[in-house]
Amino acid sequence: MKLLVFGESGQVGRALQGRAGDVALEVRGSKEADFTDPDTCADFVVATDADAVINAVAYTAVDKAEEQEDLALMVNGTTPGIIAQAAAARGLPMVHISTDYVFDGAGVTPFATDHPTGPLGAYGRTKLVGEEAVRAAGGTHAILRTSWVVSAHGQNFVKTMLRLGSERERLTIVADQIGGPTCAAHIADACIEIAGQLLQDASKAGTYHFSGGPDVSWADFARHIFAQSGTDCDVTDMPSSDYPTPAQRPFNSRMDNKTTQTTFGIARPDWRKGLIDILTDLGALKT
């Protein structure tokens, strides 16, 4: 199997390159596949000899998206849709990564894949447009919604906590937002497996959830990071109202992963095990 991957330097793109094993990859980064130029991106799909497409590109600056919604819409919505059309025209399955931000974050129940969407801000709105565009293209696809992505690369919560924890004796962290941290390596493995299964059975196309377990607050996630890394930093809980941001964050980012398990045989990953691998890669695991 060969996969055309959009996204070279992001967390999931980096993980895909490290986890591909015997799977061949054609990786297109932003210097070649500029997501503000959808037709050029589609041309790579037209020309590829890959068997399937994975889109790991996204505009993920949640707060900046409030001021740059047009740019976020192009990257998260328009271009994925054009890529999906090109893939559909060639009969290539496509795996498209989306987000829990398409929901309104209300309640405490994990969101099922068919739960009504209701994004709170620009980032979620533009990702929802991308989902709708991928579906509308009419090809074989899997939209994989994930949450709280972490890895040893790029900017993410684990790396931020390690940096701040080494500088301060105490941190005050939001405790009323609950979700599933998801390791980029686990997402990469899931994308490769799903792409392979779609090639064998197009009836598996649809929308799926994939988030790490168990669900946890940001504050408790930080405590676990500090414990596993041996970082001497205390964590104090605070409500989201004490930390206002330009974009509203969902309180409930829990997602129901059952259909991913039943359809593809992919179990919900344990972020605690993935965190050990991340800390090991960073040379930060407590010995």
- How many residues can be counted in the chain? 287
Q: What are the Cα distances from residue 32, in Å, to 8, 27, 40, 88?
A: 10, 10, 8, 22
Catalytic, out of 59, 101, 123, 208? 123
The dihedrals phi and psi of 59, each to the nearest 5 degrees, come to -85, 110
Q: Closest Cα to residue 210, out of 142, 287, 139?
A: 142
Question: Residue 251 and residue 45: Cα distance in Å, rounded?
Answer: 38
Partner residues linked to 206 by β-bridges: 142
Question: Residue 137 and residue 140: Cα distance in Å, rounded?
Answer: 9
* Runs of H (alpha helix) within the chain: 11-19, 38-47, 69-73, 79-90, 122-136, 157-167, 184-200, 218-229, 258-264, 271-282
Question: Residue 156 and residue 225: Cα distance in Å, rounded?
Answer: 12
In the chain, what is the straight-line distance between the N-terminal and C-terminal CA atoms, in Å? 39
Quick check: 93 and 53 in contact, CB under 8 A?
yes
- Please give the single-letter amino acid code of residue 8: E
Q: Any catalytic annotation for residue 123? A: yes
For 2-78, where are the E strands, in sequence order? 2-6, 24-28, 52-55
Indicate which residues carry an active-site annotation.
123
